Amino acid sequence: MPLPIVYSPDHVAPLPEGHRFPMAKFGKVYEWLVRDGVATLDQFHLSQPATMEQVTLCHDPAYVRAYLDGTLDARAMRRIGFPWSERLARRTLSALGSTLQTVELALQHGLACSTAGGTHHAFRDFGAGFCIFNDLAVAARWAQQQGLARRVLIIDLDVHQGDGTASILGDDADLVTFSMHCDANFPFHKQQSDYDVPLPVGMDDDAYLAELAKWLPDLLTQVRPDLVLYDAGVDPHGDDVLGKLALTDAGLLRRDRFVLEQCVRRSVPVATVIGGGYSKDIDALARRHTLVHRAASEAHRLA
């Protein structure tokens, strides 16, 4: 079976003109996967929105209801960074549902990819940094609750620390968080992941990959996860407007290949999400996000 990829047209919701979040990239990822021949239409699985029961595995029910009803106060909405709309609320549940379905498919087939996800700045009772509900935390706890996986390792290689994920899952030793991020970047008040690797501004491909190679093989051996959730953010790229690191497209592809090969070699199922990436050139950004799907297609063929 070819690599399963999860998608929904609801991954895109309208934002005010000039908003700095590149929402259109989510639709473009799907387009570029097909246009570049990375995926065929029969590889895509249409996701279903997450349910209230699933979301509240990690989030305060009052916060979830207030957000979905559009009654969250203005200060909380400013912290999130989006204006509220019904379409955005639907998109939030759709993207989280895509991560859950990606987990299910990864456990069935060894590897699966979403075309959204990576909302790692959302905490239990508030959102932040363009993240409303934390799909990584919810997916890890849902897999555990459903008896699909006992130990889950979240490998977060977004340029920003996965602070919300660390906070939500910090009391469960079987849900392990690893975050390798630019130290001098958002969030400026970091949480404590199980494993944090702070990086200096301007780190390039070779230095980044050497640092990752120091950590990941031993981490996989030590944790022995039943499932890996991989946040393949592309904001470590040198052209990213919020990044502060200096990776290239080739370096990101090497990174994704390394992560997936290390997992596949150990027969650990991997579910990938695309994470952060910020640029005014939406097509270039979307193609950059497809690097993880390219690496996953290669790894899936070799598995």
CA torsion sign, 96 to 243 to 167 to 210?
Answer: positive
Alpha-carbon dihedral 142, 148, 151, 156, rounded to 10 degrees: -60
Cis peptide before 187 (omega within 30 of 0): yes
Pair 269, 110: CB distance under 8 Å:
yes
* Structure tokens given for 263: 């997992």
Based on the number of CB atoms within 10 Å of its own CB, is 282 exposed (0-12), middle (13-18) or buried (19 or more)? middle
Distance (Å, whole) CA 160 – CA 118:
11
| Domain over 22-302 is classified CATH 3.40.800.20 | yes
Distance (Å, whole) CA 289 – CA 133:
21
Alpha helices in the chain (DSSP H): 25-35, 52-55, 61-69, 74-80, 86-109, 135-145, 163-169, 205-223, 249-265, 282-289, 291-302
How is the chain split among helix, strand and coil, in percent rounded to 5? Answer: 45, 15, 40
Distance (Å, whole) CA 85 – CA 95:
15
Query: pLDDT truncated to tens, each residue of the chain (303 aa)?
Result: 899 999 999 999 999 999 999 999 999 999 999 999 999 999 999 999 999 999 999 999 999 999 999 999 999 999 999 999 999 999 999 999 999 999 999 999 999 999 999 999 999 999 999 999 999 999 999 999 999 999 999 999 999 999 999 999 999 999 999 999 999 999 989 999 999 999 999 999 999 999 999 999 999 999 999 999 999 999 999 999 999 999 999 999 999 999 999 999 999 999 999 999 999 999 999 999 999 999 999 999 877
Residue owning tokens 């040198």? 238
DSSP state, 247?
A: B
Find all residues with CB under 8 Å of 61, minimum gap 6, and list them.
52
Neighbours of 39 (CB within 10 A): 25
Find all residues with CB under 8 Å of 171, minimum gap 6, and list them.
none
pTM of the model: 0.97
